[in-house]
Amino acid sequence: MLKKKDTLIAPSLLASNFLETGSEVQMINDSAADWLHLDVMDGRFVPNISFGIPVIRDIHRVAQKPLDVHLMIVEPDQYAEAFKQAGADHLTVHYEACTHLHRSLQLIRSLGMKAGVAINPHTPVLLLQDIIEDADIVLVMSVNPGFGGQSFIPRTYEKLRQLRRMIDDRGLDTLIEVDGGVTMENAGEIVAAGADVLVAGNTVFSAPDPREVIGKLKGEKAN
């Protein structure tokens, strides 16, 4: 299992300038960020297409932070080994996309990656109670997946509190990751509700000084 620590920051490359991908990755290397978040979309599970294995392989050549790969795709088991070979350190699949979720998480772990499960805004936390021990990461989507720049869904706070209780009551080290609409204004409240990892896209990459924003997010702690 991953060891808990202070709030982890995972800038989402989806919000970056793709014409300057190498420079954007280097900026993250030089920042206080902990992970590099990579959203893979197939146009089927979500109504958008982003990037895939060849791009991640190239990013891995220059990235100095763990690659936190979020698969928003159908039939993710077919590609798990390929993403491992491309350099993924963590591989997160969607509860809603996996017919046999336990098998999917075990496959990811068997390949030497940290296994994550993501849930969409409409999916209750309660549905994770039978597989939570098999997940290193639970990624709570705080917007509907597929596009960046959306507003944070307030109901997420209660979901985070429920998930925090579930994890703590069982004495697990599972990390809670939040993706979607994370800003400087709500980051503290998100962490206070139970989040360990903040995924930030537009908040980081639209800022005049992205590294400064990453550093400020890194300093957010629950009261």
Q: Is residue 192 part of a domain?
A: yes
**Helices 210-218 and 21-29: angle between axes, nearest 10 degrees:** 40
pTM of model > 0.85: yes
Q: Among residues of the chain, what percentage have pLDDT more than 70?
A: 95
Q: Is position 175 within any domain?
A: yes
Mean pLDDT across the stretch 187-191? 96
Residue 2 lies in a domain: no
pLDDT of residue 223 exceeding 60: no
68 in catalytic set: no
68 DSSP β-pair partners:
37, 90
The three-state secondary structure class of 162 is helix
- Among 39, 42, 68, 136, which one carries the catalytic annotation? 39
- Active site annotation includes 58: no
153 part of a folded domain: yes
- Per residue in 9-23, pLDDT tens? 999 999 999 999 999
What's the CATH number where 147 sits? 3.20.20.70
| Catalytic residue, candidates 34, 68, 134, 179 | 179
Who has greater pLDDT, 2 or 113?
Answer: 113
Domains identified in the chain, total number: 1
Give pLDDT tens digits for 31-52: 999 999 999 999 999 999 999 9
